[in-house]
Amino acid sequence: MHPIRFVKWIYKKVHSYGIPTSAILASGAAILSLLFFRYLGALQRLELVIFDGMVRLRPERISDSRLLIVELTEEDIQYLGQWPISDRNLADVLASLQEHEPSVIGVDIYRNVPKDSGYTELVEQLQKPNVFGITFIANQSMSTILPPPSIPKERIGFNNIPLDPDGVVRRYSFFINNDEETMVAFALHLALAYLQEYEIFPQITENNEYQLGDALFKKLQPNSGGYQQIDAQGYPILINYRNSQSIAPKITIKDVLLGNFDPELVKNKVVLIGNTASSSNDFFLTPYSFAQLNFLNSKMSGLEIHAQATSQILSAVLDGQKLFWYWDESTEILWIFSWSIVGGSIAWYTRRPLTLLLINVLALGVLIVISYGIFIKMGWIPVAAPTLGIVMTSGVVIVYKIQESWQQQNMVMKLLGQQTSPEIAQALWQERSYLINSGILPPKTVTATILFTDLKNFSSISEKKTSEALMNWLNEYLSAMTDIVINHHGIVNKFTGDGVIAVFGIPVPRTSVKEIAIDAQNAVNCALAMGKHLSQLNQKWQQQNSPELKMRVGIYTGTVTVGSLGGKNRLEYGVIGDGVNIASRLESFDKDRHPGICRVLIAQETLEYLDKRFSVEPWGNLNLKGKNTSKCILSYWEKLFLN
């Protein structure tokens, strides 16, 4: 599927599950940013580190018995008493090996000029048709090192080893174009010479790919696997390291000169001769290096890397060993995109942080297992990019949900139509799902304590003030009363001009007698605090030549129904029921009977929850306006105060 069509399909699919377009676009922007930085190579180092880890994790294969390494060690240098090895000693080594009929001999030792005595003997040995030499093609750090003049060009291979940006050897180039001439790699020369016995010769396919027998060596592209914009000149392939310890059987130069080796190690084998002495500079970092404590021993000699490449070619052609393969760029993008969508979806549908963390860890585990399983099958696909995709889209969705939560919380407060205490707001927010989905709060019947207030003779006072002055004066009073309600864990349901309707015990239903009692006590304490504060306001207003004000308060504890009132254009948090009416009648009962600044009347139903915390004065059984006498046999008290 084309990437653009895939993205459109994903968008429709995700959007059909109710995920908002803004969340999809935010996640999409995060994915595009990830892909952009990946294109710039920002993730290459991380991908290569993961590649190295998977190389180390996979099972190592045994040494390749088709190869033999003849190494020049520190002990050999001490034995020969010279550095570098002389022409005569090198000629003797070649002659000794030729006696045992090797298939190919590759000399990974520079010999562009004579070294001490024995040059004639060395030339004779180098001219043998199964002997291959090396040259080094100039790069930015080194100049060209010429091949031995006695070996024909067709038996000269370059021994340049390409380094990744972090200095690790993961690639091997088959060809280099040098002065309009295509040079063949040292390891490829040795493998081709060995394969001639099997009558296997190279072919170039219609797609300009290199093929030996049934093995197709796909050229490593600048963006293959975890690479991004690497130098892919020549014909690089990814090295399939056989193991980290011994690519092939080894003997030393000293062993060869003394004849101290098994001839079967040489017969019909690919023999590589070179320097592995620790004093030389011919050592390279490999994917195995950073897992070893000893830094010097963690490096692999150039001779062994050439042997690894030679073994890889022979194993692919003769043993059917799979070569590394890679997805094209569009498939890699779909892979990264898909996992990013997985991360965002997990974050969207998971509510609890711990569950989200566990599921994300599980998703990352599945991603790693799949990637490693593909790697075992010789496929190198991006791992760091989809991992970051999961993390980034999860983070974006989490941030989006936090922002959405904040916006929804503001919407809840707006729908309520009044301020609430922090405790009430938090409790209401915990039950927001229904409100967000339907736009209204469902009706609930709860037991709550209703508080009504009103100012005595407010109408006559308001006539003496201008409308602006009255508004300022009223706001000062109502603001103070609202703060008192909130401080006592109530919710201001409505302002009725100079009056306040407050409720204690909503919006979360109370489930125990203790909770209902606390609400009733908070309501009474709130009324007392209102009276005390009104006295302070009166002192201030008297200095402004304003008359003294008095307040009436009615409190009732009983069942009420709460929920959204109105339509889509105007919603408020409504409180209705007989309990509301009774509290209102208590406040307005016998307005002339008002001996103090703040008269508080409570019903018997509220008194039962006060646990004798207040002293009260009974007013007897009274009939309330509009209420049936049989239902209003209540007792009322004035001048409540704490015991």
In a domain, 421, yes or no: no
- Residue 598 CA to residue 340 CA, distance in Å, equals 64
Contact between 265 and 249 (Cβ < 8 Å): yes
Q: Is the dihedral of CA 261, 264, 268, 269 positive or negative?
A: negative
Q: Residue holding tokens 């060596």? A: 217
Question: Can you give the pLDDT at residue 510?
Answer: 87
Same domain? 248 vs 215: yes
420 pLDDT tier (thresholds 50, 70, 90): low
Same domain? 621 vs 493: yes
Average pLDDT over residues 469-487: 89
571 pLDDT tier (thresholds 50, 70, 90): low
In a domain, 415, yes or no: no
Same domain? 350 vs 285: no
In a domain, 331, yes or no: no
The last residue of one of the domains, among 318, 353, 372, is 318
Q: Is the dihedral of CA 524, 529, 532, 533 positive or negative?
A: negative
pLDDT of 79 over the 80 cut: yes
Question: Can you give the pLDDT at residue 297?
Answer: 60
Same domain? 387 vs 483: no
Query: Quick one: residue 324, left, alpha or beta (phi over 0 = left, psi -120 to 50 = alpha)?
Result: beta
Average pLDDT over residues 486-501: 89
Q: Is the dihedral of CA 194, 196, 199, 203 positive or negative?
A: positive
Question: Can you give the pLDDT at residue 632?
Answer: 33
Same domain? 159 vs 220: yes
pLDDT cut 90: percent of the chain above it: 54
Question: Can you give the pLDDT at residue 425?
Answer: 57
Comparing C-alpha atoms, which of 245, 248, 251 is closest to residue 270? 248
Q: Reply yes or no: is the peptide bond before residue 129 cis, omega within 30 of 0.
A: no
> What are the pLDDT digits (tens) for 386-397?
999 999 999 988
- Looking up residue 430, the CATH number of its domain turns out to be 3.30.70.1230
Partners of 182 in the β-ladder = 177
> What are the pLDDT digits (tens) for 541-560?
888 777 788 899 999 999 99
Same domain? 443 vs 294: no
Same domain? 385 vs 446: no
Question: Can you give the pLDDT at residue 614?
Answer: 86
Contact between 341 and 14 (Cβ < 8 Å): yes
Q: Residue holding tokens 């302002």? A: 495
- Residue 543 CA to residue 545 CA, distance in Å, equals 5
Same domain? 293 vs 365: no
Same domain? 228 vs 272: yes
DSSP characters over 148-204 = PTTS-GGGEEE------TTSB--EEESEEEETTEEEEBHHHHHHHHHHGGGT--EEE
pLDDT of 173 over the 90 cut: yes
Domain span holding position 198: 59-318
> What are the pLDDT digits (tens) for 598-637?
889 998 899 899 988 888 888 877 777 766 432 333 333 3
Contact between 158 and 219 (Cβ < 8 Å): no
In the sheet that 202-204 helps form, which strands lie side by side, from edge to edge? 202-204, 210-212, 215-217
Partners of 185 in the β-ladder = 158
Same domain? 134 vs 274: yes
Query: In Å, what is the CA distance from 541 to each residue of 466, 536, 549?
Result: 16, 9, 9
pLDDT of 140 over the 70 cut: no
Give the chain's domain count: 3
507, two tokens: 């919006």
Same domain? 537 vs 492: yes
In a domain, 193, yes or no: yes
The last residue of one of the domains, among 350, 378, 407, is 407
In a domain, 49, yes or no: no
308 pLDDT tier (thresholds 50, 70, 90): very high
Which of 26-30, 106-110, 424-428, 504-508 bottoms out in mean pLDDT, i.e. has the lowest?
A: 424-428
58 pLDDT tier (thresholds 50, 70, 90): very high
pLDDT of 640 over the 60 cut: no
210 pLDDT tier (thresholds 50, 70, 90): very high
pLDDT of 638 over the 90 cut: no
Same domain? 299 vs 161: yes
In a domain, 69, yes or no: yes
Contact between 242 and 64 (Cβ < 8 Å): yes
Mean pLDDT of the chain: 85
Average pLDDT over residues 124-138: 93
